[in-house]
Structure 1
């Protein structure tokens, strides 16, 4: 079982997310334990203050090192050395590859900050990973942590009903996922592609691969550089490029 701890000043934000959908089922299946701690409890002062003015002046408040150091030390009492993840806009851009890497760990600790930032000693002496979910600013690290946790937990064995689902997802193969259709086969005159009704699985796989290639080429061409292509696929992309330029 994977153990995930979250240190946050607003633990109530996680109640709905951790108590619903896949994350709820993952806990019921004992694939993961999810725990949220208000690190204000480790402030060490009667006013439960966890932030202070920055040395050297400047706008905003900075999270003090003591509460986070003490909270992490209280959590990491076992022999397992956890990955300690700082959610911040300066971190590594989160990817599916990073989710797959983190899914191999036994224990993860997420630090969710607020205010102007963290005392730098937190980064230097506690944190193993810094992660950003995009080039934009949020009020705090909670929403980012929820996103990363959801992405990681769904990769754990037995969490999803269909074991192939996480393997076929967009980005897991390096390509965007192909289109999906379900019944009815015709709706308001819009028909499901005939190949999907053919029962010929080789043709279906070929169609899905081509659709994934086209979607990736047209929507996220930056991903194509990491994709191994057959000669016929290279020719197909060259044809799309030619048609695009006409």
Structure 2
């Protein structure tokens, strides 16, 4: 699994209510956190998008699985239908999960227990059947995102072959020899080492290590520097078109 990106988005402000009046029917329901939601469904309708916006989220709709594979990296959450015109929804889910930890909720008319099991085995975080209530869907979104944000107690040390990362002291050594890294080089290496044998998308590395302050070649420059300091280019493997993963020397 790759690292989860925690976005910093602004929430919608509630509409003011005049004295003596109740809240207007269309008053927005402010969610605890606003999310960018990729809705993958050939039957995308305005009601779902409107409800997501009303709860403070930013919906983006696509109708095909191929489009979902291209755009999921920009999303904080994916609502995925299984009935897609070009690809099987389960295959889309597996493909997303192979390169990303973005939360996926399957939203489908398939109601059998087997379909639910297959969806969860494909990597979905939750499975919702149609028809569903808006409150239920929003509650499930909040529950899934809470789980995605939860972080276990930070490890003090990461070992990967002859590579040793002391997280607390921010020291790195290879074969017992200390390697001097810059702050960003350490952050980049520590993030990759936290998810060994997993591809971390380039855009996710940029967001988590550099935030909003970065240039197009920032990751490439730091990866090249890290490879040189670690003494072997095999420590960081480039997965073309996707990102990077920690390798084996």
Q: TM-score, normalised by structure 2?
A: 0.28
Q: TM-score, normalised by structure 1?
A: 0.29
From the CA coordinates, give the structure whose radius of gyration is larger.
1
Q: Which has the higher contact order (CA 8 A, sep 6+)?
A: 1
